A and B are shown apart, each in its own frame.
Chain A
Amino acid sequence: MALELRSVTKRVGGVLHIKETSLTLEPGQFNVLLGATGSGKTSLIKMMAGLDPMASGAVLMDGEDVTRLSTQKRNISLVHQFFINYPHMTVYDNIASPLKVAGMAKSELDDRVQEAAQILQLTPMLHRRPHELSGGQQQRTALARAIAKESRAVFLDEPLANLDYKLREELRDQLPELFAGRGAVVVYATSEPEEALLLGGKTALMRDGRVTQFGPTADIYRNPENVEAARVFSDPPINTATITKQGSEARLGADVRWTLEGAAAGLQDGTYTIAIRPHHVVPVAEAAGLVKLNGRVQVTELSGSESSAHFDLAASGQETYWVSLSHGVHPYEVGELHDFYMDPRAAYVFAPDGSRVA
């Protein structure tokens, strides 16, 4: 089973909300749609589910065009951010509802419901109504319904957003194994990059109704194709600055210079943006080939094992703030001028239009 979107678009009130998007989603691992609120994650899911009309394009399931197939006939499941269960039915009936609609024999239905309830630890609550359950249990019920149905595609639209953090962590750890080996395409929408990293699988980055990069999550982390993708998986935020390239030399501000290596060295002369993760900017030069920066420390944070310093690059003639993240406890004084060392080989280089060039 594979779920394919072919050049789909969606209009809302005459405005192109989802720009032309093509994606092929496969079972076996999570497909995470990652983007801010309003970036089009839910719209994309609704289009795949057939709940919202598309302006153009096609949805294929297993190579079969289902664009005109009604939601009822697509054999899919959807778990919402809000806990959607039928309020007047017991947990058992809630889990059983899609199976009953499908006209499944009673004994098989019972087996499926019991199995799903057991996996999600709902067995003792089967005869309660949703309002007698905690938020976590309500969401488990919704998940159990999706599992019992054994549908071709499961859409999880920010399913953990309304749970408190402890439950969220617990359920997030269980999710990949819940759906493992079930052969369904699992699509998981979230606005939290951390969730995408923890869930593994593939990630489609979404921004303004467009998929900006799609691939294995770790690949996106290591090889962002654009500035936005580089920013997404970075906490604290990734450091960016404008550099000027001339020959094999890069210049940041007036007096920070270094020699470019690898792909970056072969670029045309001009202005570029570099992005470098905070842990590649350190207060002590521990290796060779690091570039020294001088910054004024603005904010410092010490945690048990790491020190971070936010500093401005005013001394280098740039109106930007950078963050340095280093192991151990490093003594900073707020307001002091401090030397930081960045590793230029770890920097991503982007053209002015935001696309990655080195």
Chain B
Amino acid sequence: MKTENQKAWFFVLPVLLLVAFNALIPMMTVVNYSVQETFGDNVFFWQGLDWFEQILRSDRFHAALGRQFLFTFLILIIEVPLGIAIALSMPRQGFWVPVCLVLMALPMLIPWNVVGAMWNIFTLPDIGLLGYFLNHTLGINYDMTQDPIAAWVTIVTMDVWHWTSLVVLLSYAGLVSIPDAYYQAAKIDGASNWSVFRYIQLPKMKTVLTIAILLRFMDSFNIYTEPFVLTGGGPGNSTTLLSIDLVKIALGQFDLGPAAAMSLIYFAITLLVSWLFYTLMTKDDQN
């Protein structure tokens, strides 16, 4: 078809402007910082790709990236199966449905920094409810301010507590959309509970699970507030995830160039992994 005129561009203009101010322009300043060295008084020196090279070669970045992948891997491997299991065991009808739904939604309604603060106080060995109980009642040596393992257990548990609900609610939405007739058909075919899950429930949940996994991946990969409030990246650097490290470089050391380069690398990794996840999970549908 021949293009009649170029009017359509005018209709796209508002959103283009919005995206420009909201994303493009801030991002370009980051790009600007990432290729220059800056001192005070807005004096810039051209650096080329030096900062990128420096970041990519730095052990500190590798360590933070490794911790980041470990954290995301742990919470996905726990939250997704746990969320599905909880959704499967929730009632599908009756009085308890709204009760369960509200209870499930509660953790997600709490602001992130409050979650961090809550778990910090909750787990402090001398005054926290959990910390005190573990140390003084059960006699388990648990101190997330001193012991890296304890710190990891705490941030992972906190995230599981905070975000498993998202997987639960999305899976549950998928589950309740399955008509009874499918369960009946499966029973009549002689299918076991596992087959019902594998061939009826899982395929029906697939779309929402894809969304859940993507959201959980992106959120956990970019997580900052909760672990920052809870452990501040410590003890030592043991829970310094990528975003915490980034903020340390940018605002702590005021190394704007390396921080900008790191942001862009960080962004590229998030984008790449999300794309990989999405492509893999939706591969079947395209055939």
A residues sitting closer than 8 Å to B (CB atoms) are 49, 51, 70-73, 75-78, 80, 82, 84, 86-89, 97-98, 101-102, 145, 149
B residues near A73, Cβ cutoff 8 Å: 190
Which of A73, A80, A89 is most buried by chain B, counting CB atoms within 10 A of its CB?
Answer: A80
B residues near A71, Cβ cutoff 8 Å: 184, 187-188
B residues sitting closer than 8 Å to A (CB atoms) are 179, 181-182, 184-185, 187-192, 195, 199-200, 203
Would B185 and A87 count as touching, CB distance under 8 A? no
Which of B181, B185, B200 is most buried by chain A, counting CB atoms within 10 A of its CB?
Answer: B185
Report the minimal beta-carbon distance from B177 to chain A, rounded to whole angstroms: 12
A residues near B200, Cβ cutoff 8 Å: 86
B residues near A145, Cβ cutoff 8 Å: 189
Would A82 and B181 count as touching, CB distance under 8 A? yes
Would A101 and B181 count as touching, CB distance under 8 A? no
**Distance, CA A82 to CA B178, complexed state (A):** 13
Further contacts, 9 of them, CB under 8 A, given A72-B188, A77-B188, A84-B185: A49-B188, A51-B184, A71-B188, A72-B191, A82-B179, A84-B184, A97-B199, A101-B189, A101-B191
Would B187 and A86 count as touching, CB distance under 8 A? no
Name the residue on B nearest A88 (C-beta).
B203
Would B190 and A87 count as touching, CB distance under 8 A? no
Name the residue on A nearest B185 (C-beta).
A84
Q: Can you name 7 A-B pairs with beta carbons within 8 Å? A: A49-B188, A71-B184, A77-B188, A80-B181, A84-B185, A101-B190, A101-B191
**Distance, CA A51 to CA B179, complexed state (A):** 14
B residues near A51, Cβ cutoff 8 Å: 184, 187-188
B residues near A101, Cβ cutoff 8 Å: 189-192, 195
Would B190 and A84 count as touching, CB distance under 8 A? no
B residues near A77, Cβ cutoff 8 Å: 188
B184, B190, B199: which contacts A78 (Cβ < 8 A)? B184
With A82-B179, A101-B195: A72-B185 Cβ-Cβ less than 8 Å? no
A residues near B191, Cβ cutoff 8 Å: 72, 97, 101
With A78-B184, A78-B185: A72-B203 Cβ-Cβ less than 8 Å? no
B residues near A98, Cβ cutoff 8 Å: 188-190
Report the minimal beta-carbon distance from A47 to chain B, rounded to whole angstroms: 13
A residues near B179, Cβ cutoff 8 Å: 82, 84
Name the residue on A nearest B191 (C-beta).
A101
B residues near A89, Cβ cutoff 8 Å: 199
Would A87 and B187 count as touching, CB distance under 8 A? no
B residues near A75, Cβ cutoff 8 Å: 190
Report the minimal beta-carbon distance from B282 to chain A, rounded to whole angstroms: 13
Name the residue on A nearest B182 (C-beta).
A84
Which of A77, A101, A149 is most buried by chain B, counting CB atoms within 10 A of its CB?
Answer: A101
B181, B185, B190, B203: which contacts A102 (Cβ < 8 A)? B190
Nearest 10 interchain pairs by C-beta: A98-B189, A71-B187, A88-B203, A72-B190, A101-B190, A84-B181, A84-B185, A78-B188, A97-B189, A80-B181
With A82-B179, A82-B181, A84-B182: A76-B195 Cβ-Cβ less than 8 Å? no
**Distance, CA A88 to CA B200, complexed state (A):** 9
**Distance, CA A72 to CA B188, complexed state (A):** 5
Report the minimal beta-carbon distance from B186 to chain A, rounded to whole angstroms: 8
A residues near B199, Cβ cutoff 8 Å: 86, 88-89, 97
Would A72 and B181 count as touching, CB distance under 8 A? no
A residues near B192, Cβ cutoff 8 Å: 72, 101
B residues near A102, Cβ cutoff 8 Å: 190
**Distance, CA A194 to CA B191, complexed state (A):** 36
A residues near B195, Cβ cutoff 8 Å: 101
Name the residue on A nearest B180 (C-beta).
A51
B residues near A149, Cβ cutoff 8 Å: 189
**Distance, CA A87 to CA B200, complexed state (A):** 9
B181, B188, B189, B203: which contacts A87 (Cβ < 8 A)? B203
Name the residue on B nearest A155 (C-beta).
B188
Which of B179, B184, B189, B199 is most buried by chain A, counting CB atoms within 10 A of its CB?
Answer: B189
**Distance, CA A33 to CA B182, complexed state (A):** 23
A residues near B184, Cβ cutoff 8 Å: 49, 51, 71, 78, 80, 84
B residues near A84, Cβ cutoff 8 Å: 179, 181-182, 184-185
Name the residue on A nearest B203 (C-beta).
A88
Report the minimal beta-carbon distance from A145 to chain B, rounded to whole angstroms: 8
A residues near B185, Cβ cutoff 8 Å: 78, 80, 84, 86
Report the minimal beta-carbon distance from A330 to chain B, rounded to whole angstroms: 49
A residues near B203, Cβ cutoff 8 Å: 86-88
Name the residue on B nearest A80 (C-beta).
B181
Name the residue on A nearest B202 (C-beta).
A88
**Distance, CA A89 to CA B192, complexed state (A):** 17
**Distance, CA A159 to CA B200, complexed state (A):** 22
**Distance, CA A244 to CA B163, complexed state (A):** 79
**Distance, CA A149 to CA B181, complexed state (A):** 18
**Distance, CA A131 to CA B203, complexed state (A):** 14
Report the minimal beta-carbon distance from B182 to chain A, rounded to whole angstroms: 6
A residues near B189, Cβ cutoff 8 Å: 97-98, 101, 145, 149
A residues near B190, Cβ cutoff 8 Å: 72-73, 75, 98, 101-102
Name the residue on B nearest A51 (C-beta).
B184
Which of A75, A82, A84, A102 is most buried by chain B, counting CB atoms within 10 A of its CB?
Answer: A84
Report the minimal beta-carbon distance from A300 to chain B, rounded to whole angstroms: 45
**Distance, CA A75 to CA B190, complexed state (A):** 8
Report the minimal beta-carbon distance from A157 to chain B, rounded to whole angstroms: 10
Name the residue on B nearest A78 (C-beta).
B188
Name the residue on B nearest A71 (C-beta).
B187
**Distance, CA A84 to CA B191, complexed state (A):** 15
